[in-house]
Structure 1
Amino acid sequence: MAAPRSSARGSSARGGTTAKGTKIAQVPWREPRPAPIVLVSGPEEVLAERAIAGVRDYLRAEDAALEVSDIRADDYEAGSLLSVTSPSLFGEPRLVRVAGVEKCTDAFLQEALKYIEHPQEGATVILRHTAASVRGKKLLDAIRAGTGGGIEIPCTAVKRDSDRVDFAAGEFAAAKKRIAPTALRALVSAFADDLTELAAACQQLVNDVEGDITDDIVTKYYGGRVEVSAFVVADTAIAGRYGEALIALRHALASGADPVPMVAAFAMKLRGMARVAGNREPSRQLAQRLGMKDWQVDRARRDLTGWNERSLGMAIQATARADAEVKGGSRDPIFALERMVTVIATREPFGA
């Protein structure tokens, strides 16, 4: 059930955090709400579409008579914004969706700057800016400074594998649907290059599958696309999930993964852990000193949970041995990989 309109459209600080340098709330895209002005910023179109649809659904839940209008800021007819936000004869609430603000015309910019000084009562104006250019910066700065009593819904790019996993996990959590960790990893791997397709795949599984989503279900639906990456195998083993790690390894090999880069992924992860281990410097300072990225330091520190000097040294030795064996030192590179994964995931000598 939607919250009362007054609570949604009151103080912009309610229901979201305020980013540094701004005076308006930064609202998560999964928890959109209306305000006189809603700035949907950032390049990730899937998240932006969800946020805009969420604001529409919120308003419709309050009043089914909601009037919805669309305007393009890059092909703008003078007077359009005031026309579609003005109260109708029966005073229905209005939602105006404005696309292409990053390419807006001078006419739109002038009218929008004037509009946010005195937004129309009962109107919600959504401004979509992809951040592809600085066009419209004056308008964005004014909104972020608090003019118009707006909010901002950031839709930042989803680039890292961990971000895609978090996105997909959130899709199933929002639908109150359980998915096995290995199935989640396999699904993300299948759509690693396209968040739109990943979102569609998640929704298909949510809608089509009764009960929990398993590895077999993901393979049934998307088996032709699933390719478990070396880093998925490494992450699972380093986290101590032995059974999942072996399944992921065998799946990766069945998908045509090469043992040599597989070992290289483990070596890179363990090397980062070893460089960070025992160091209490702030992430940024340590990253600069070691020539790493901040997020790499943070990830290595998270990976070190449950590890000690002995187990880390043993894992590095096992990886060095596997590296030699998959490069010709053994007749069975698959066994070499399995032995390496076993040592790392169990943190015990092989066969112990």
Structure 2
Amino acid sequence: MAAMTEVVAVASGVPPYVLVSGPEGVLAERALAATLDDLRVAHPDLEVITLHAGAYEAGQLGLHASPSLFGGAKCIVVHDLDEAPDDLQTDLLNLLAGGPEPDLTLVVLHKSGQRGKKVLDGLRGARARVLDAPAIKTDRDKTEFATAEFRRARRKATGEAVHALVEAVGKDVRELAAACRQLVEDTTGVIDEKVVLTYHGGKVEATGFRVADAAMAGDAAEALRLLRHAIGVGVDPVPIVAVLAQQVRQLVKVGSAGRGRSADVARDVGMAPWQVDKARRTLSGWSADGLATSLQAIAAADAEVKGGGRDPVYAVEHVLLVITGQHERGRDA
């Protein structure tokens, strides 16, 4: 049995056990799809059985793992091991204990947490192929993801273009992936910021990032214009204040990090290199006192937009005027 299993693994390029580990749905789906595609190269008639932890009934796994009457390759995909009931975990452990079966591939998806740990240990002990699907949460993560998307499509995108795209659609990774694909399919040549703005300019302008950029540059009129536009299209004041806080904190981090290559500073402070470059350009108009005063004003605005004040929009307008005023003082100092 072991020898036959080895032949199948070599023929398909996929080992008998595969673990997709991590919470990012887009990456997990791609890992699963790539695995099934690899299996179908050697087994065009591959039978795929999908089991979900939430709807699992005891004994299902063993039933599906049994050789079919007419033979043929089979792949069992188990979703959400991290939510698995005891029956599913027990059946998985029993299947692993029996060793690999010819023409059978087991793919298990596990988002995070300790539930299902014995099964995870069993898979790793059986030398399962582990495909990572790590969380994509921070701006740096999203920047790296978008950059990799363009690189995978063999297209060059400038840092400014990636930055603008993350600002426009970076809230949802699936939407970000779709936006990257659209730009690759609909355009030619280098993807620059102008191209991104052509497709997503309205979204970019409506984000809190554009409001914050204008404020940090000391442009009160533009910051207020962008704020009113954002509010007009339904952007909530709370995330706008959050972005203001983020940008001021980034200036403090980069200002305290001293000189050095952008990539090194970015790694040390948990930012993307383009964010470090942007912060360095912005810092020329700021003093340490101005940043401290701005942080205090932002903290007050944050409390007001979360229910502590009567008029959230006025609170944001006020903090924008405080920030732009501090920028002017920093430039004059």
Q: TM-score range by the shorter chain?
A: 0.5 to 0.7
Other-structure match for 1:24:
none
Deviations 1:180-201 (A, max 9, x none): 3222111111123211111122
Q: Root-mean-square deviation (CA), in Å?
A: 4.9
Q: Distance in 2 between matches of 1:56 and 1:67?
A: 10
Other-structure match for 1:126:
107
Unaligned runs of 5+ in 2: 231-236, 295-319
Question: What letter corresponds to residue 145 of structure 2 in structure 1?
Answer: F
1:123-272 map, 5 Å: 123-131=104-112, 133-144=113-124, 146=125, 148-226=126-204, 227=207, 229=209, 255-256=226-227, 267-272=248-253
Report the TM-score when normalising by structure 2: 0.65
Q: What is the SS of the residue equivalent to 1:271?
A: helix
1:1-352 map, 5 Å: 9=9, 34-88=14-68, 91-117=71-97, 118-131=99-112, 133-144=113-124, 146=125, 148-226=126-204, 227=207, 229=209, 255-256=226-227, 267-277=248-258, 297=269, 299=271, 317=287, 320=290, 327=321
Deviation at 1:319, TM superposition (A): 9.4
Q: Distance in 2 between matches of 1:253 and 1:62?
A: 61
Unaligned runs of 5+ in 1: 11-32, 238-244, 284-293, 341-352
User: Is residue 230–residue 262 contact of structure 1 (8 Å, CA) maintained in 2?
Assistant: no
* Aligned sequence identity (%): 33
Deviation at 1:7, TM superposition (A): 9.9
User: Is residue 231–residue 266 contact of structure 1 (8 Å, CA) maintained in 2?
Assistant: no
Give aligned pairs, total. Answer: 283
Q: Distance in 2 between matches of 1:313 and 1:180?
A: 23
Q: Distance in 2 between matches of 1:209 and 1:301?
A: 26
Q: Which moved more, 1:224-233 or 1:54-63?
A: 224-233
User: Is residue 15–residue 105 contact of structure 2 (8 Å, CA) maintained in 1?
Assistant: yes
Q: Distance in 2 between matches of 1:206 and 1:229?
A: 24
Q: Distance in 1 between matches of 2:81 and 2:87?
A: 12
Question: What letter corresponds to residue 221 of structure 1 in structure 2?
Answer: Y
Other-structure match for 2:300:
none
Deviation at 1:123, TM superposition (A): 1.8
Deviation at 1:336, TM superposition (A): 5.5
Deviation at 1:140, TM superposition (A): 1.5
Alpha-carbon distance change, 301 to 216 in structure 1, aligned in 2, over 3 angstroms: closer
Greater share of helix residues, 1 or 2? 2
User: Is residue 140–residue 272 contact of structure 2 (8 Å, CA) maintained in 1?
Assistant: no
Q: Distance in 2 between matches of 1:196 and 1:110?
A: 34
Question: What letter corresponds to residue 220 of structure 1 in structure 2?
Answer: T
Deviation at 1:87, TM superposition (A): 3.8
Q: Distance in 2 between matches of 1:174 and 1:225?
A: 25
Q: Distance in 1 between matches of 2:249 and 2:7?
A: 50
Q: Distance in 2 between matches of 1:233 and 1:49?
A: 35
